[in-house]
Amino acid sequence: MTAQLACMVSDIAPGSALRVELEGETGPVPVAVARDSDGRFHALSDICSHGQVSLSDGEVEDGTIECWLHGSTFDLRSGAPLALPATRAVPVYPLTIDGERVLVDVDITLNF
Ligand code: FES
């Protein structure tokens, strides 16, 4: 599988995230495409490593995304948890910008 169209650049304002579902080798993969306050894009699993909730529903702030349920924050670049109760990283996927298109490859993880 190669990079797939996740969304358009204009779909995500700085400091926010969008849930998309892409096709992986073993089935659908929920992805949180997040844009940090500097405007940079990141792609990580949309499933919190502490529970089965959507990270894209949380706050994006200072290069992190916060899980809305228990408040763990995750580094957008590494997927690493920065605050309890989560102790495991979430997968981070390669993301490229092609003009207006945001492309993500869910068959490669950058941190596992
Ligand atoms: S479900 Fe995300 S921190 Fe608990």
pLDDT of residue 102 exceeding 80, the answer is yes
3-state secondary structure the chain: CCCEEEEEHHHCCCCEEEEEEEEECCEEEEEEEEECCCCCEEEEECECCCCCCEHHHCCEECCEEECCCCCCEEECCCCCECCCCCCCCCCEECEEEECCEEEECCCCCCCC
Residue appearing with tokens 């969008």: 18
| 3 state SS of 55 | helix
| Domain 4-104: which CATH number of 2.40.110.10, 3.30.56.10, 3.30.70.580, 2.102.10.10 | 2.102.10.10
State the average pLDDT over residues 21-30.
96
Measured CA to CA, the distance from residue 10 to residue 101 in angstroms comes to 9
- Percent of the chain having pLDDT more than 70? 99
Give 1-12 pLDDT, tens digit per residue.
699 999 999 999
Measured CA to CA, the distance from residue 54 to residue 97 in angstroms comes to 23
Say how many Å lie between the CA of residue 85 and the centre of ligand 1. 7
Parse the chain into domains and list their residue ranges: 4-104
Task: Tell me which residues have their CB closer than 6 angstroms to ligand 1.
Answer: 48, 50-51, 53, 67, 69-70, 72, 85-86
State the average pLDDT over residues 86-97.
98
- pTM for the complete prediction? 0.95
State the average pLDDT over residues 68-97.
98
Probe target for ligand 1 pocket from 45, 53, 57, 59, with the most ligand atoms within 8 Å of CB:
53
